[in-house]
Amino acid sequence: MYHTKRLLIAVALLILLSVAYICSYRFFAGRYEPPEGHPHIYTVCERLPSAYDVWLVNHTEDRYLLVDAGSLPLVFLPSGSVLYLFDSHGHLVEWTIDSGEHVPPMLSSVIGKRSSGRKLTAEQLSQVLGTVGN
């Protein structure tokens, strides 16, 4: 009876930890998920919980904006950064929560060209998009 009770407590604890892990993952992942449709780069970036980098990358004959928002907390075992790909007008094309595992095709081809692109400041981003401020 004593061993059965300990086993039930261990199983209940395991279930509780699993539920807590799933809920916390959804909380953190939700902070990176862009709004529905093709939101603008400023809309997506203002929702990000931490600093990010923006790169201007040429691919084929088009220019794209690649946003690297860093990784999810280590407890979620991310294998890559959260990445967003925007067209030259600043509208979302594709994104991934883990660039080490799940990378859409267009984003995958642009990632490889990041080293030949250039990192943008906020002012340079405004100039690229032809806007002033946010």
Domain ranges for the chain, please list them. Answer: 34-129
pLDDT for residue 84 is more than 90: yes
Quote the mean pLDDT of the chain. Answer: 81
User: Where residue 119 falls among pLDDT bands split at 50, 70, 90?
Assistant: very high
For residues 2 and 129, which has the higher predicted lDDT (pLDDT)? Answer: 129
Q: Is the pLDDT of residue 129 over 60?
A: yes
* Residues contacting residue 11 through CB under 8 Å, at least 6 positions apart: none
14 near 66, Cβ under 8 Å?
no
Determine the pLDDT at residue 133: 43
Share of the chain above pLDDT 70, in %: 80
Can you tell me the distance from the alpha carbon of 95 to that of 110, in angstroms, rounded to the nearest whole number? Answer: 12
Which residues make beta-bridge pairs with 94?
85
- 23: its two tokens: 């809920």
Q: What is the DSSP string of 41-104?
A: HHHHHHH-SS--EEEEEEETTEEEEEEE-----GGG--SS--EEEE-TTSBEEEEES-TTT---
pLDDT of residue 49: 75
Residue 134 has pLDDT above 50, yes or no: no
Assess whether pLDDT exceeds 90 at residue 101. no
